[in-house]
């Protein structure tokens, strides 16, 4: 799986957010702590900031190479600051069939929607599942597909199912998406481990999702992810552990005042002014887990950032 990071809060240098810290997202491309593979298949980010010439639109950047090899990172990131960020480093199977191209780099961003998306997930057999799922996809989004990844197709399907931009609308669309995927797998007899570990982001909002299906397409796979992750990488047990493991949250304040670290000033959640949602903890701070089967809504409301967690169900 890939690695994802989303941020909302006061404007912050993208260098400070993505590049400088020891365990930054870009460094995770080479040395992820919770993933057995390198993230060498590309990277990118989307960012909103009041000092950009179009502050209401995300500035989106992609490169189809390992992030630490991108010679633009050292000059581009120190020149930008943003208050909402979604960044991603892409992992892909070590296989010549994998397409390493700009079109397959996250985050994905379409016209006609405020949302951009990135994930460290997986939808097996998605090309065949389209026979059942394309009927639920809107033409306005299908026409914008440029790449050949499962994530972009999930993005199209999710946007097509959205009936509004409220938190309740997003949760309903996510639940309907997984119901349709599970139904398509059953109809075509193509069950498989499905990971929906994603960040859906718009200006001043981050929605984090940690959900999926088990190896047989079951909605509520059982197991202790810590024990399962002790299995050998590449086994069914290990992969199920990666599905069931949590995503991670950090809330605090004065993040922008501490260059080079992810260290927030300690405060109560009611006093938090910034938040990070990520695939894995980036520091030794006490991160909050987003458990499997959950969705988190992070919203910037004035100077505060609020958090609401709900359970997902079909």
φ, ψ of residue 174 in degrees (nearest 5): -65, -45
d(CA 157, CA 177): 7
Edge-to-edge strands of the sheet including 81-89?
Answer: 59-63, 43-48, 81-89, 3-13, 274-278, 247-252, 288-290
φ, ψ of residue 130 in degrees (nearest 5): -60, -25
Q: Is 2 a catalytic residue?
A: yes
**Residue 202: in which H helix or E strand, if any?**
strand 194-202
d(CA 161, CA 120): 21
Residue 6 near residue 251 (C-beta atoms within 8 A): no
List, in sequence order, every beta strand (DSSP E) within 214-246.
none
d(CA 113, CA 203): 12
Q: Which of the residues 2, 105, 137, 267 is marked catalytic? A: 2
φ, ψ of residue 163 in degrees (nearest 5): -110, 10
Residue 308 near residue 167 (C-beta atoms within 8 A): yes
Give the number of other CB atoms < 10 A from CB of residue 258: 13
Sign of dihedral through CA atoms 240, 170, 160, 180?
positive
Tokens of residue 156, six digits: 């199209």
Residue 119 near residue 197 (C-beta atoms within 8 A): yes
Active site members: 2
């Amino acid at each position: 799986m890939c690695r994802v990071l989303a941020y909302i809060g006061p404007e912050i240098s993208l260098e400070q957010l993505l590049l400088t810290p020891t365990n930054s997202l870009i460094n995770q491309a080479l040395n992820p702590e919770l993933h057995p593979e390198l993230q060498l298949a590309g990277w990118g980010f989307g960012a909103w900031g009041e000092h950009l010439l179009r502050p209401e639109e995300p500035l989106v950047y992609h490169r189809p190479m390992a992030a630490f090899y991108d010679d633009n990172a050292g000059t581009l990131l120190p020149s930008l600051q943003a208050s909402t960020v979604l960044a991603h480093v892409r992992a892909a199977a070590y296989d010549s069939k994998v397409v390493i191209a700009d079109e397959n780099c996250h985050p994905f961003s379409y016209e006609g929607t405020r949302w951009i998306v990135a994930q460290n997930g997986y939808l097996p057999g998605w090309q065949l599942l389209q026979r059942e799922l394309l009927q639920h996809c809107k033409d306005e989004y299908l026409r914008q597909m440029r790449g050949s990844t499962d994530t972009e197709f999930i993005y199209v399907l999710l946007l097509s199912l959205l009936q509004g931009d409220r938190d309740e609308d997003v949760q309903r669309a996510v639940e309907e998406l997984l119901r349709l995927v599970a139904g398509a797998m059953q109809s075509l007899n193509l069950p498989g481990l499905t990971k929906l570990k994603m960040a859906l982001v718009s200006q001043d909002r981050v929605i984090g999702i940690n959900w999926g299906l088990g190896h047989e397409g079951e909605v509520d796979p059982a197991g202790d992810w810590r024990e399962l992750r002790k299995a050998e990488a590449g086994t069914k047990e290990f992969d199920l552990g990666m599905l069931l493991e949590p995503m991670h949250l950090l809330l605090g304040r004065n993040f922008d005042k501490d260059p080079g670290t992810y260290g927030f000033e300690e405060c109560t959640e009611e006093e938090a002014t910034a938040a990070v949602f990520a695939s894995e903890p980036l520091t030794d701070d006490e991160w909050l887990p987003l458990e499997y089967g959950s969705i988190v809504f992070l919203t910037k409301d004035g100077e505060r950032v609020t958090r609401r967690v709900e359970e997902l169900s079909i």
